[in-house]
Chain A
Amino acid sequence: MEAFRTLDAVAVPLPRPNIDTDQIIPARFLSRPREVDHAGFLFHDARRLPDGEQDPEFALNTEAWRNARIVVAGKNFACGSSREAAVWALFDAGFRCAIAPSFGDIFSNNGMKNGLLPVVLPADVVEAIIAQVEADPGARIQVDLPAQTVTAPDGSVHGFEVDPFAKHCMLEGLDEIGLTQSYEEEIAAFERRFGRENVR
Chain B
Amino acid sequence: MSETMFEKIWQKHRVLDRDDGQTLLYVDTHLLHDGGATAFDFIRNRGLKPRAPERIFATPDHYVSTSTRKVEEIEDPRHREMVEKLDRNTREFGIKQFGLGTEGQGIVHVMGPEQGLSQPGILLVCGDSHTSTHGAVGALAFGIGSTEVAHVLATQTLWQRKPKTMRIRVDGTLSDQVTGKDVILAIIAKIGAAGGTGHVLEYTGSAIRGLSMEGRLTLCNMSIEGGGRAGMVAPDDTTFQYLAGRPHAPKGAAWDTALDRWRALPSADDAVFDAEVSLDGSAIQPMVTWGNSPEDALPIDGRIPDPSKAVDAERREQMARMLVYMGLEAGTPLSEVAVDRVFIGSCTNSRIEDMRAAAAVAKGRKVAGSVRAWVVPGSEGVKRQAEAEGLHDIFRAAGFEWRQPGCSMCLGTNGDIAQPGERVASTSNRNFMGRQGPGARTHLLSPAMAAAAAITGHFTDVRRLLAGEA
Contacts and interface: CB of A to CB of B under 8 A. Distances in A.
A and B held together in a complex: yes
A40 to B, nearest CB: 16
A34 B38 contact: yes
Interface stretch (A25-33, A62-70, A131-139): A25-33
A31 B434 contact: no
Interface string B23-41: 0101011000001011001
A125 B377 CA distance: 47
Which bucket holds chain A's interface residue count? 35 or more
A18 interface: yes
A187 B20 contact: no
Contacts of B224: 80
Contacts of A83: 145
B434 A22 contact: yes
B157 A20 contact: no
A199 interface: yes
Contacts, number: 172
A200 B227 contact: no
Nearest to B249: A200
B35 A30 contact: yes
B398 interface: no
B194 A102 contact: yes
A81 interface: yes
A32 to B, nearest CB: 8
B441 interface: no
Contacts of A191: 26, 156
B430 interface: yes
Nearest to A196: B54
A143 to B, nearest CB: 21
Interface string B291-327: 0110100000000000000000010001001000000
Contacts of A199: 54-55
Contacts of A17: 314, 318
A58 to B, nearest CB: 13
Contacts of A165: 18, 20-22, 159, 161
B144 interface: yes
B197 A114 contact: no
B151 A45 contact: no
B91 interface: no
B193 A18 contact: yes
Nearest to B296: A18
A84 interface: yes
B441 to A, nearest CB: 13
Given A113-B147, A177-B151, A183-B16, A22 B411 contact: yes
Nearest to A114: B147
Contacts of A37: none
A84 B318 contact: no
Given A165-B18, A165-B159, A198-B119, A177 B154 contact: yes
B150 interface: yes
Contacts of A84: 38, 145-147
B41 A34 contact: yes
Interface in A61-98: 74-76, 79-84, 87
Given A18-B293, A84-B147, A23 B433 contact: yes
B82 interface: yes
Interface string A185-200: 0110011001001111
A180 B159 contact: yes
Interface in B117-165: 117, 119, 121-122, 127-129, 143-148, 150-151, 154-157, 159, 161, 163
A2 interface: no
Contacts of A103: 197
Contacts of A194: 26
Interface of A: 15-18, 20, 22-23, 26-28, 30-31, 33-34, 45-46, 50, 74-76, 79-84, 87, 102-106, 109-110, 113-114, 163-165, 168, 176-177, 180-181, 183, 186-187, 190-191, 194, 197-200
Interface of B: 15-16, 18, 20-22, 24, 26, 28-29, 35, 37-38, 41-43, 46, 48, 54-55, 57, 63, 78-79, 81-82, 116-117, 119, 121-122, 127-129, 143-148, 150-151, 154-157, 159, 161, 163, 193-194, 197-198, 224-225, 227, 229, 248, 292-293, 295, 314, 318, 321, 411-413, 420, 430, 432-435, 438-439
Q: Which 6 residue pairs spanning A and B have beta carbons closest together? A: A76-B194, A110-B145, A84-B145, A164-B20, A200-B248, A165-B22
Given A76-B193, A84-B145, A180-B154, 8 more contacts: A31-B63, A31-B79, A34-B146, A102-B194, A106-B143, A110-B147, A113-B145, A198-B119
